[in-house]
Structure 1
Amino acid sequence: MTIRMTLAALLVLTGVAAAAEPAATVRELNRGPVAGGTFAYDLALIRVPVGGSVRFEPTDEGHNVTPIRSLWPAGAPPLNVPFNSEATVTFDRPGVYPVQCTPHTGLGMVALIVVGDADMTEFSAKAASIPGLAPKARAKLGVLAGAAGQS
């Protein structure tokens, strides 16, 4: 997995060409896209092909993006998008990548990135039994995994 901070100044200073458009953009929000919802990623279910990219956009301040380590694919590189930072992440391996906003996980601010063909049944069973995951986060991951399995 590759993380590219999308800072225009850094690109200009280093002479690096801008990356191709990401497959999806995920906005980090204080108010969710659903009426009455708070603290959400919009999109919360993201599907990309192997080698596809996801751009994380700090629409509202106070959010980050980190893996839910107990559910992260074995051997996959860690992900860390710092608070209030924009980043584009390229996923080079198939799998299911659950992410969270660390201060808002308990409020259900999680998302699921499905890369390539992934076994949603195995992920769902694991997510349902992981100890220590906040109830709202667990419930939302269950809904997202169910939706991913349907498509």
Structure 2
Amino acid sequence: AFLVESLGVHNRAVSGLVVALAFFASTAGQLAAGRIGVARSLPLGCAALLAGLLLLAGALYWDTLALVVLSALVGGGGQGLTFRGALSAVAGTSPAGQRAAVISMLFVVAYAGISVPVIGVGVLTGPLGLEGAGLVFLACMTALV
């Protein structure tokens, strides 16, 4: 909606490409996490997530497509690094008999973490508008990272 309403991008292929870039960057981050190790992937991933959030805030503030694309790439890479790092850390430290349950709980928390903000932005869009709701979301996520 932001691309259409704020940037005037009506081409759905462009919207799809931005989303695809985030997923591809996440995949690259997950692959990189295997090479750089858990101890480095978690802090580097968090730093990349923070940078991606700041780029997205800039995109919302200045209505700039290039910043949206950069935020998808940087944030996606950060997500991949942190998720693979967290999964590796949890799997490596969980007792063998509880590993499946602990990893399942990690996925529950991860899915809640990506669902709750989307619902929150949807609720806030009415009173604050899409950009205002997005900036509130970004401030909350930045505080968490």
TM-score class, shorter: under 0.3
- Structure with a larger share of its residues in strand: 1
Q: Which of the pair has more CA radius of gyration? A: 2
Question: Which structure is higher in RCO with an 8 Å CA cutoff and minimum separation 6?
Answer: 2
- Structure with a larger share of its residues in helix: 2
Output the TM-score relative to the length of structure 2: 0.27
Output the TM-score relative to the length of structure 1: 0.26
